[in-house]
Amino acid sequence: MSRLAVGVDVGGTKVLAVLVDRSGALLAEARRATPLDGIRDAPGVAVVDEVALALADLAAAAGTDLTGLPLGVGVPGMVSHAGVLTFGPNLHSATGADMTKLLGIRLRGWQATVANDADAAAFAEHRLGAAQGEDEFAMVTLGTGIGGGIVTGGRILRGRRGYAAEIGHMIVDPSGPRCPCGRRGCWERYASGAGVARLGREAAAAGRLPALVALRGDAEFVRGEDVTHAAAAGDKEALAVLDEVGWWLALGLANLAAVLDPGRFVLGGGLIEASTLLLPPARRHLTGLLEAGELREPIEVVAADLGAHAGAIGAALLSQER
Amino acid sequence: MSRLAVGVDVGGTKVLAVLVDRSGALLAEARRATPLDGIRDAPGVAVVDEVALALADLAAAAGTDLTGLPLGVGVPGMVSHAGVLTFGPNLHSATGADMTKLLGIRLRGWQATVANDADAAAFAEHRLGAAQGEDEFAMVTLGTGIGGGIVTGGRILRGRRGYAAEIGHMIVDPSGPRCPCGRRGCWERYASGAGVARLGREAAAAGRLPALVALRGDAEFVRGEDVTHAAAAGDKEALAVLDEVGWWLALGLANLAAVLDPGRFVLGGGLIEASTLLLPPARRHLTGLLEAGELREPIEVVAADLGAHAGAIGAALLSQER
């Protein structure tokens, strides 16, 4: 195991690169914007190019050449065991790309370990964060969509092809709104940042959030962050929207519990950072939505420890495992 | 490992006891009716008494004393690692019972391994049946409700408390019909024997199954088996009901795939024995309901091999593992 490692988290909006030591401590970081999600080049080429530039930035920030260090790269979507992004609804330009191969071509002297971004975050939270000591847990990252990482028996559950823990695409209401994945009523339409925005616009259109409508000029332009800010300031109707989002969040957690029976749920991602107001309603509704919720031991629902760095740190740690 | 083992499957309607050799081959069997599901005695006492009587019948059938052989007992519901039936929506009279302890008291000279019935069936199908050679699969037993057993990395996924794979209680429509578990819209309201009956009655009430209404006198009295029999005889409207059930079945399988990414689904239970007509629609609808269903490798959907004996045989095999 190398003393140092590099991790990269490719998100829908930014590419974050970190240098960590073997304890996972952050030594340097660099970030760049994720290239616009059009299909300019062959799938994955633009993204991999940006990863290479982020690594150059990281080397400059660290003041040393990093070439050849263990390198892990987390990407959002269905990542095969071999590192092909079979489907990336939040990274369309790389759908179908053999990320392992492209990174090998673009980054001479490196050999990348490619993983799902939320799997990487789960690995980091297990090793260093909010899931330490719990070998049965599910990581739920709430951003624009919902990502997942599942640990059972202390190991990441990846499934037959590597596509496990695509939990944002559990269907929770078959007649629900369309999802970018092409189907209807996926969990991430309700309990993610997109869900806060959608349910917030519905509340605004129903006349329940007049201050936000005044702020944006029309209910259609109300944003998710408007709702979380108003809720943080004590607006009762905004808090009611977050309560509804919390109910949907709890519904999905209950479905995960029916399949996995974890000892703990670790909630991360930008939405949790934006509003810890989601956790109390999710906890409150979970008991009623769990099978035998009043008879069984409760399942902990906690916030992630490592915040926005979890995915990148986890990718670095995963690269040291190979 | 003992050469012989005894397995008991406690179902909602019958108690099946089997004697198997180490290869799982069936040497003798006995069955009794599950005691009526009222709370006459302390929880579990009536059920455990019937298990004891079934074991006496089994010894008589085998023509030899079986006392002290490895003994596995499968029960439906949320079974803790210690063998407590924390919640048994299809075996209410035993909810809360410490089955391991009660069996130890009633059965002198035996020490029982208590497991969830569908976990036991999954173990048997993995060892001897339709999941041989596949270390990532989900067993789905379709009876009155839906039971589940999940194998990942070649091992049964039991979760933190033992309650994993309660897959029939994933909520697939929060505004759906009430479930005996106390919540609304659980998967087993749609894709089980109860689902065939309910959707069949709806079709009958809408005038689509006149022959079955004539048979039973009223749409309210149409049974699930009426629908499967009519479908087997080629009745188009009955086939349409099974197609709808198959769609709901595929929806739950897609949700399981989002969480677990299994290589195979093994479908068992009385409903599959009653009608293999469910498998083709489930397979057909699954591709459209899976995330990236057209981009990813297909997931096999196959019928179980061991039929009604899977749970009892699996319980016997599990008892040899301890």
Taking only residues 30 to 89 of chain B, the set having a beta carbon closer than 8 angstroms to any beta carbon of chain A reads: 78, 86-87, 89
Which pLDDT tens digit goes with each residue over B204-228?
999 999 999 999 999 999 999 999 9
Which pLDDT tens digit goes with each residue over B226-277?
999 999 999 999 999 999 999 999 999 999 999 999 999 999 998 988 888 9
Tokens for A106, please give them. 């673009």
User: What CATH number did the domain enclosing B46 receive?
Assistant: 3.30.420.40
Which pLDDT tens digit goes with each residue over A191-206?
999 999 999 999 999 9
In terms of domains, do A103 and A67 share one? yes
Nearest CA in chain B to A175: B173
The residue to which tokens 């899931």 are assigned: A131
Report, as an integer, the average pLDDT of A1-17. Answer: 89
Q: Answer whether residue A2 shows pLDDT above 70.
A: no
Interface test with B, best of A188, A261, A297 (most B CBs within 10 A): A261
The residue to which tokens 């897609």 are assigned: B254
In terms of domains, do A101 and A164 share one? no
Residues across chain A:
322
Residues across chain B:
322
In terms of domains, do B139 and B261 share one? yes
Report, as an integer, the average pLDDT of A88-95. Answer: 90
Report, as an integer, the average pLDDT of A212-236. Answer: 96
Q: What's the first-to-final CA gap in chain B, in angstroms? A: 9
Q: What's the first-to-final CA gap in chain A, in angstroms? A: 9
In terms of domains, do B136 and B119 share one? no
Cα gap B276→B263, rounded to integer Å:
21
Nearest to B261 among A136, A160, A258 (CB): A160
Question: In this complex, do B167 and A259 lie within 8 Å of one another by their Cβ atoms?
Answer: yes
Q: Answer whether residue A89 shows pLDDT above 90.
A: no
Which pLDDT tens digit goes with each residue over A128-162?
999 999 999 999 999 989 999 999 999 999 999 99
Interface test with B, best of A160, A166, A295 (most B CBs within 10 A): A160
On the 0-12 / 13-18 / 19+ scale of CB atoms within 10 A, A322 is exposed
Long-range contacts of A290-293 (CB under 8 A, 24+ apart): A290/A254, A290/A257, A291/A254, A291/A257, A291/A258, A291/B78, A291/B87, A291/B89, A291/B163, A291/B166, A291/B169, A291/B181, A291/B183, A292/B78, A292/B86, A292/B87, A292/B181, A293/A254
The residue to which tokens 């962050």 are assigned: A225
Identify the CA nearest to B81 among candidates B159, B165, B166.
Answer: B159
In terms of domains, do B188 and B264 share one? yes
- Give residue A22's pLDDT band: very low, low, confident or very high (50, 70, 90): confident
Question: In this complex, do A171 and B172 lie within 8 Å of one another by their Cβ atoms?
Answer: yes
- Residues 6 or more apart whose CB falls under 8 angstroms from that of B233 comprise none
* Predicted pLDDT of residue B2: 61
In terms of domains, do B285 and B194 share one? yes
Cα gap B276→A246, rounded to integer Å:
40
The distance of A137 to chain B (nearest Cα, Å) reads: 8
Cα gap A276→A217, rounded to integer Å:
27
Percent of residues, chain A, with pLDDT higher than 90: 89
* Predicted pLDDT of residue A39: 66
Identify the CA nearest to A198 among candidates A252, A244, A235.
Answer: A244
Check CB contact of B178 with chain A, cutoff 8 Å: no
* Predicted pLDDT of residue B39: 66
Which pLDDT tens digit goes with each residue over B147-178?
999 999 999 999 999 999 999 999 999 999 99
In terms of domains, do B72 and B184 share one? no
**Cβ atoms A71, A321 nearer than 8 A:** no
In terms of domains, do A314 and A297 share one? no
B231-265 as b/e: b if 16+ CB within 10 A: beeebebbbbbbbbbbbbbbbbbbbbbbbbbbbbb
**Cβ atoms B306, B128 nearer than 8 A:** yes
Nearest to A164 among B255, B261, B297 (CB): B261
Report the largest interatomic distance among the alpha carbons of chain B, rounded to a whole angstrom: 59
Cα gap B231→B238, rounded to integer Å:
5
In terms of domains, do A29 and A91 share one? yes
Q: Please give the residue that has the higher pLDDT: either B84 or B145.
A: B84
* Predicted pLDDT of residue A90: 85
In terms of domains, do B99 and B147 share one? no
Which pLDDT tens digit goes with each residue over A245-283?
999 999 999 999 999 999 999 999 989 888 889 999 999
Other beta carbons within 10 angstroms of residue A8's beta carbon come to 31
Q: Please give the residue that has the higher pLDDT: either A308 or B132.
A: B132
Number of compact structural domains in chain A = 2
Q: What's the whole-number average pLDDT of chain A? A: 95
- To 5 degrees, how large is the angle CA A60–CA A61–CA A66? 60
In terms of domains, do B178 and B267 share one? yes
The residue to which tokens 């809360």 are assigned: B96
* Predicted pLDDT of residue B36: 79
- Give residue A322's pLDDT band: very low, low, confident or very high (50, 70, 90): low
Q: Is A172 helix (H, G, I), strand (E, B) or coil?
A: coil
Report, as an integer, the average pLDDT of A10-32. Answer: 94
Check CB contact of B155 with chain A, cutoff 8 Å: yes
- Give residue A171's pLDDT band: very low, low, confident or very high (50, 70, 90): very high
* Predicted pLDDT of residue B322: 67
Report, as an integer, the average pLDDT of A24-28. Answer: 95
Tokens for B322, please give them. 């301890």
Cα gap B174→B141, rounded to integer Å:
23
- For CA atoms B101, B103, B109, B110, the dihedral sign is negative
Nearest to A296 among B86, B167, B296 (CB): B86
Check CB contact of A155 with chain B, cutoff 8 Å: yes
Nearest to A170 among B134, B259, B288 (CB): B259
Domain range spanning residue B104?
A: 4-123+309-319
* Predicted pLDDT of residue B303: 96
For B169-214, the DSSP string reads G-BS-TTS-B-TTSSB-BTHHHHSHHHHHHHHHHHHHTTS-HHHHH
Percent of residues, chain A, with pLDDT higher than 70: 98
* Predicted pLDDT of residue B13: 86
Question: In this complex, do A136 and B169 lie within 8 Å of one another by their Cβ atoms?
Answer: no
Which pLDDT tens digit goes with each residue over B7-25?
999 988 899 999 999 889 9
Q: Answer whether residue A1 shows pLDDT above 60.
A: no
Taking the complete model, does pTM exceed 0.80, yes or no?
yes
Write out chain B residues lying below 8 Å of A289, CB-based: 171, 183
Nearest CA in chain B to A247: B174
Which pLDDT tens digit goes with each residue over B27-83?
999 999 998 766 677 999 999 999 999 999 999 999 999 999 999 999 999 999 999
In terms of domains, do B277 and B191 share one? yes
Strand-pair partners of B140: B148, B267
Q: Answer whether residue B1 shows pLDDT above 60.
A: no
